[in-house]
């Protein structure tokens, strides 16, 4: 890899649908140049140090890609030839391993897996022709992860500087709970506009992902703080001193501002797992998890922000169960959360109606494959009286 210190190059940060604006803001604050928003991605310009900094600090990015070549592609053979034109010895050795991810948004091609195979053949054949041996494929922890993005007839080849997706923060051990993606969890906290100092409550906290992300945000703790490794640390041009400098400077910005984060969880087992995750993240001093129901729990009177990811009902059998749950969420908010700003994410539009409050904001997001709304309900001081009056009028 030909390298000049401080030389700038374009990069692309991938994200989830609906988080592009937040990611662009993060990039502005981090000091990126040439920021442009796209669908589920933001492009920008920076140098090698900035690439390290972005991987460590961006909360709503999934991957940071470094494009190395773009070309028109007509068919698989064309792809093979163009990939072979890249001198892969600049990026890896024959003893290294590789993996290729292929993302398609094209009417001309249908099989991303087949295209990834073709690109892999082009690379390993180049090494075999030069050295008589070929590098191996390793899907989990390759030396070099390569990303092909084919949009219509344009293929962009990038090096994936993140390696494992950045949502894998490294603080979560309890994976059997189908928790929310960490990048989405953090995006929700940021979209809620929480001021990072008032009370923050997740009253159906599950494995505590939203609470942990909120605590990291408030403490200015880099989301990559717990990770063992980033992809760029296996690259040929990895600059360990530069990484140490960036890492140390980022950790210096961690603060100890007092903040109160509260979780509530109905299941004893899940509450225990939430506490284990919080301990792994060393956040026991700022997050408390109560094993009780949202309906029973009494929040601090000093209002703050509530962000909640209730069950959506895909696994519930009776329709009235889920509608009844959402109705009791609305009732509890009205009764106990005066002055709070309450945010709920759900894919269940029907059940949302049973909350019985008018949302002041509706933000479309995806939780995995599920199209969701992230809705804000302002629990004005008057909303309790107003709903009481409505009830009386209905009687
Ligand atoms: C969709 S999961 C939340 C997942 C969470 N965001 C995470 O990342 O792990 C919903 C959680 O709400 C809990 N729950 C359901 N009803 C509840 C209630 N009435 N009070 C408190 N928690 C409840 C469930 O036990 C479950 O853990």
Residue 360 burial by Cβ neighbours in a 10 Å radius (0-12, 13-18, 19+): exposed
- Name which of 341, 15, 328 is nearest 189 in CA terms: 341
CA 185 to centroid of ligand 1, rounded, Å: 14
More confident residue, 164 or 110: 164
Contact between residue 342 and residue 333 where contact means Cβ atoms under 8 Å apart = yes
Q: Does domain 182-224+252-394 have CATH number 3.40.190.10?
A: no
Q: Which helix (H) or strand (E) holds 376?
A: strand 370-378
Contact between residue 205 and residue 290 where contact means Cβ atoms under 8 Å apart = no
- Residue 239 falls in which region: left (phi positive, over 0), alpha (psi -120 to 50) or beta: beta
Determine which residue's CA is closest to atom 1 belonging to ligand 1: 311
* DSSP classification of residue 382: T
pLDDT in tens, 298-312: 999 999 999 999 999
The ligand 1 atom at the shortest distance from the C-alpha of residue 294 is 20
CA 254 to centroid of ligand 1, rounded, Å: 30
Angle of helix 48-57 relative to helix 20-30, nearest 10 degrees, comes to: 130
- Residue 48 falls in which region: left (phi positive, over 0), alpha (psi -120 to 50) or beta: alpha
Determine which residue's CA is closest to atom 17 belonging to ligand 1: 266
CA 248 to centroid of ligand 1, rounded, Å: 36
- Name which of 334, 324, 323, 319 is nearest 388 in CA terms: 334
- Residue 342 falls in which region: left (phi positive, over 0), alpha (psi -120 to 50) or beta: beta
Mean pLDDT of 88-116: 94
Ligand 1 surroundings by CB, under 6 angstroms: 177, 179-180, 203-204, 206-207, 209-210, 264-267, 270, 293-295, 309-311
Q: Any idea which residue has 């007092």 for tokens? A: 258
CA 15 to centroid of ligand 1, rounded, Å: 25
Q: Which helix (H) or strand (E) holds 349?
A: helix 349-353
pLDDT of res. 107: 87
Taking the C-alpha atoms of residue 70 and residue 48, their distance in angstroms, rounded to an integer, is: 20
Question: Which of 206, 335, 344, 345 is the best mutation target for the ligand 1 pocket, counting ligand atoms within 8 Å of the beta carbon and taking the most?
Answer: 206
- Residue 34 falls in which region: left (phi positive, over 0), alpha (psi -120 to 50) or beta: left
Tell me: pLDDT of 384 over 70. Answer: no
- Give the percent of the chain with pLDDT over 70: 92
- Residue-range domain boundaries for the chain: 9-160, 182-224+252-394
pLDDT in tens, 342-353: 999 999 999 999
Tell me: pLDDT of 6 over 90. Answer: no
pLDDT of res. 109: 86
Q: Does domain 9-160 have CATH number 3.30.70.20?
A: no
- Name which of 293, 287, 285 is nearest 204 in CA terms: 293
pTM of the model: 0.93
Tell me: pLDDT of 391 over 80. Answer: no
Pairing of strands 41-46, 9-14: antiparallel
Taking the C-alpha atoms of residue 316 and residue 359, their distance in angstroms, rounded to an integer, is: 25
- Name which of 350, 344, 351, 379 is nearest 365 in CA terms: 344
pLDDT of res. 194: 98
More confident residue, 21 or 387: 21
- Dmax (CA) of the chain: 85
The ligand 1 atom at the shortest distance from the C-alpha of residue 264 is 21
- For residue 154, list its beta bridge partners: 72, 151
Structure confidence at residue 314 as a pLDDT band (50, 70, 90): confident
pLDDT of res. 393: 47
Contact between residue 220 and residue 252 where contact means Cβ atoms under 8 Å apart = no
Tell me: pLDDT of 139 over 70. Answer: yes
| Contacts with 180 (C-beta within 8 Å, 6 or more apart), sequence order | 206, 209, 210, 309, 345, 367
């Amino acid at each position: 890899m030909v390298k000049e210190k401080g030389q700038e190059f374009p990069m692309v940060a991938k994200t989830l649908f609906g988080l592009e604006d937040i990611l662009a803001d993060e990039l502005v604050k981090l000091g990126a140049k040439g920021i442009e928003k796209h669908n589920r991605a933001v492009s920008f310009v920076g140098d090698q140090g900035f690439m390290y900094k972005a991987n460590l600090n961006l909360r709503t990015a999934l991957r940071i890609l470094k494009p190395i070549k773009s070309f028109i592609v007509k068919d698989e053979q064309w792809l093979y030839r163009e990939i072979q034109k890249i001198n892969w010895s600049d990026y890896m050795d024959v003893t290294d391993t590789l993996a290729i991810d292929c993302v398609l948004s094209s009417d001309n091609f249908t099989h991303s897996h087949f295209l990834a195979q073709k690109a892999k053949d082009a690379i390993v054949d180049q090494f075999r022709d030069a050295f008589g041996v070929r590098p191996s494929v390793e899907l989990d922890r390759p030396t070099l992860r390569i990303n092909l993005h084919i949009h219509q007839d344009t293929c962009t080849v990038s090096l994936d500087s993140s390696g494992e997706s950045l949502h894998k923060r490294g603080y979560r051990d309890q994976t059997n709970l189908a928790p929310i993606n960490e990048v989405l969890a953090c995006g929700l906290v940021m979209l809620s506009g929480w001021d990072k100092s008032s009370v923050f409550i997740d009253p159906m906290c599950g494995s505590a992902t939203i609470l942990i992300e909120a605590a990291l945000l408030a403490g200015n703790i880099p989301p990559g703080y717990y990770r063992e490794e980033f992809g760029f640390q296996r690259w040929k041009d990895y600059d360990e001193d530069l990484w140490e400098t960036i890492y140390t400077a980022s950790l210096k910005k961690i603060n100890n501002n007092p903040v109160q984060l509260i979780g509530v969880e109905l299941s004893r087992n899940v509450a225990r797992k939430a506490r284990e995750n919080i301990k792994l993240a060393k956040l026991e001093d700022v997050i408390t998890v109560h094993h009780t129901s949202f309906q029973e729990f009494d929040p601090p009177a000093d209002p703050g922000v509530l962000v909640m990811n209730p069950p959506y009902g895909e696994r519930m059998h009776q329709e009235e169960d889920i509608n009844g749950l959402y109705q009791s969420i609305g009732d509890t908010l009205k009764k106990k959360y005066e002055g709070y700003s309450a945010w709920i994410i759900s894919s269940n539009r029907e059940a949302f109606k049973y909350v019985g409050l008018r949302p002041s904001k509706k933000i479309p997001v995806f939780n995995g494959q599920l199209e969701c709304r992230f809705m804000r309900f302002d629990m004005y001081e008057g909303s309790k009286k107003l709903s009481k009056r409505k009830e009386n009028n209905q009687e």
